[in-house]
């Protein structure tokens, strides 16, 4: 099976939330992973999250934040479970950087 999305050049975007108070709607969480690069160490290997919304598909380089990674893993697991149970996914995410870490929420 060929999929259009694989044929696209996928730009890895920098993580946009820099300061407490920054927030953004990302879309439906569809993948988490490790991007391999370089000698499998250093700056060229990093965690990422993929989000889809409408016709767009975006990959973000994630910061090394245990709380954020843990919450994203839970939401991705929910999407996989819902996909298996209902034939679709439902978890789309707003993420906010607060003084106490990342707050991940459904709209």
Partner 1 sequence: MIDPRQVAASVVGAVDWQSEVSGYCRCPGESLHTHKTGKKDCRVNVDGAPTIYCFHASCAPVVAEANRRLRQELGSPWTLTLPGGKVLRAGDVLQSSGAILPRETVLARAKVEGRHPGEQLILETLVAMAGRFKPELFEKFHWPFGQILSDSPLLVADRDPDDQFRTWLKLWPAHSTVWVGDIYSTGRPEHATHFRPLADWYQIGPAMGNYTCGSAFKPGTFSRSNANCDGTRFLVVESDSLTKDEIGAVFAYLNNRLRYNLHAIIDTAGKSLHGWFDCPRNKVMEDRLKAALTVFGCDPKLFTYSQPVRVPGAWRDGKLQRIVWLKD
Task: Give me the 2-31 binding string for partner 1, x by CB under 8 A, dash otherwise.
Answer: -----------------------x-xx---
- Nearest distance in Å: CB 104, partner 1: 13
101 binds partner 1 (CB under 8 A): no
48 binds partner 1 (CB under 8 A): no
CA distances, 5 to each of 9, 10, 52, 102 (Å): 8, 8, 11, 29
- Nearest distance in Å: CB 78, partner 1: 5
CA angle, residues 86, 92, 95, in degrees to nearest 5? 150
In the complex, which residues of this chain contact partner 1 (CB under 8 A)?
25, 27-28, 53-54, 78, 81-82, 84-88, 90-92, 94, 105-107
């Amino acid at each position: 099976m060929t999929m259009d999305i694989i044929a696209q050049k996928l730009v890895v975007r920098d993580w946009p939330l820099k300061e407490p108070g920054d927030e953004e709607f990302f879309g439906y969480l569809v993948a988490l992973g490790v991007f391999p690069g370089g000698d499998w160490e250093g700056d060229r290997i990093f965690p990422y999250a993929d989000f889809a919304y409408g016709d767009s598909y975006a990959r973000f380089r994630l910061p090394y934040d245990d709380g954020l990674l843990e919450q994203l893993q839970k939401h991705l697991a929910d999407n996989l479970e819902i996909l298996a149970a209902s034939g679709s996914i439902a978890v789309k995410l707003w993420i906010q950087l607060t003084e106490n870490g990342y707050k991940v929420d459904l709209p």
